[in-house]
Amino acid sequence: MGLDEGQPAATVWDNPAEIIRSLQPEHPVLVFAPDVLEQRAREFIAGFPGLVTYAVKSNPDAAVIRNLVAAGITGFDVASPFEIDLIGRLAPHAARHYHNPVRSRAEIAHAVAAGIKAWSVDSRSELDKLFQQVPPEGCEISPRFKLPVPGAAYDFGSKFGATPELAAELLREVAARGYVPSLTFHPGTQCTDPAAWEQYIRTAAEIAAMAGVTPRRLNVGGGFPSWRVHGVEPDLRAIFELIGRTTARVFGHDAPVLVCEPGRGLCADAFAIITRVKAVRDGQSVFLNDGVYGSMNELPVIGNLDRVEVLTPQGEPRGENGPGRVVFGPTCDSVDRLPGEISLPENIAEGDYVIFHGAGAYSTVTNTRFNGFGELSQLTVRRFH
């Protein structure tokens, strides 16, 4: 049984069906299974050939952080003073990598004062800011590079990442100034093609050769996929093995220490969202009490969660999912619609509950109170079925 600080044992539910039967929740409920999170963390730690850190932004809930620490996670990717302080409080012995490549001078000063020793950077101007404010002793700076490779749900390279040529120049300057030189990249979130990592790692070796610098560490980013499509469970082990094999092959004796920073891949599958059907309008489109202004904010960008289950108010399965239907959220904005159509049981009815599995990443954090909706409670379960 996982830790879940702040919640007495009596409030651990058996599964979502029990919550539905007992509470008949009118507002969306996020259900958290600490055991699933710990199991996934152990899979990463055992399988990834290097240090596993957690990207806090994907779900910064205190129970998530504490359960990850209990499972053996010793490092975190943080992107803001808030996240730096959060991890400082919840996991005071953990490493914090400040891997948001653009920061204000005030943010840099906050991080230096908090003892941050690992930074990423993707431009000359931001590197100069670090040189001015961060003492080099024991400090790692990792140029972040990008490649035009497919595989992810959307393109991360449109905002961050230097070209390999610029990354080589930055790496050389980092080493010359006495900082620990490392490299990093992010293949893009929900990256289901392991070949993306292979190509990035090969380019990392080329950057090191161009710079004439041996990177101490190579951080292969997040992007590890969670289970979003019914019947298609991602094969993390295959990705881990390819990363290890490729690094050994292209770097040889000078292989850097590997680091990864999954967000979604660690936390998503440990949560489900219980939503309720407000209306089946004239037997056609379904209106839920949660939507893209709530905990499903990322779906229009990344695509639907396909692991959908419909239960009656008695907690019984409504039946096999049938033809696709248009699904709307509760607000008055017409943008508040899940992409495309979602396969739901033919006899779905007002008052039913629609459970979206694998919904722990980028859901709580992007929930708004638009139109007065967005009330979202969190309950703990032992299992999802």
Ligand X SMILES: *Cc1c(COP(=O)(O)O)cnc(C)c1O
State which residue, 185 or 293, has the beta carbon closest to ligand X: 185
Site for ligand X (CB under 6 A): which residue of 161, 221, 330, 345? 221
Contact flag: residue 225 with ligand X (CB under 6 A): no
Least Å distance, CB 125 to ligand X, is: 19
Contact flag: residue 186 with ligand X (CB under 6 A): yes
Question: Which stretch in 41-49, 125-133, 262-270, 338-346 sits in contact with ligand X by CB under 6 A?
Answer: 262-270
Contact flag: residue 263 with ligand X (CB under 6 A): yes
Least Å distance, CB 168 to ligand X, is: 20
Contact flag: residue 198 with ligand X (CB under 6 A): no
For residue 96, list its beta bridge partners.
Answer: 76
Contact flag: residue 103 with ligand X (CB under 6 A): no
d(CA 357, CA 345): 16
Q: In the window 152-181, what residues touch ligand X (CB under 6 A)?
A: none
The answer to whether 26 and 289 have CB atoms below 8 angstroms apart is yes
State which residue, 77 or 336, has the beta carbon closest to ligand X: 77
DSSP code of residue 229 = B
Least Å distance, CB 153 to ligand X, is: 8
Token duo for residue 289: 């009490």
Contact flag: residue 265 with ligand X (CB under 6 A): yes
- The letter for the amino acid at 184 is T
Site for ligand X (CB under 6 A): which residue of 59, 67, 142, 189? 189
Return the C-alpha torsion angle 338, 267, 115, 49, nearest 10: -120
Least Å distance, CB 223 to ligand X, is: 5
**How wide is the angle at C-alpha 382 spanned by C-alphas 238 and 57, nearest 5°?**
55
**List of residues 6+ apart from 231 with CB closer than 8 A:** none
Question: Which stretch in 24-32, 195-203, 216-224, 249-257 sits in contact with ligand X by CB under 6 A?
Answer: 216-224
**List of residues 6+ apart from 11 with CB closer than 8 A:** 379, 380
Site for ligand X (CB under 6 A): which residue of 4, 29, 51, 77? 77
Contact flag: residue 269 with ligand X (CB under 6 A): no
Q: Would you name the residues annotated as active-site residues?
A: 332
**Cα distances (angstroms) measured from residue 301 to each of 60, 152, 304, 325, 362:** 21, 12, 9, 19, 12
d(CA 186, CA 261): 9
Contact flag: residue 329 with ligand X (CB under 6 A): no
Least Å distance, CB 78 to ligand X, is: 10
Strands of the sheet with 183-184, listed across from one edge: 180-181, 140-143, 118-121, 95-98, 75-78, 51-55, 257-260, 217-219, 183-184
Contact flags string 45-74 toward ligand X, x per CB under 6 A: ----------x-xx----------------
Binding site for ligand X (CB under 6 A): 55, 57-58, 77, 99, 186, 189, 221-224, 261-265, 361
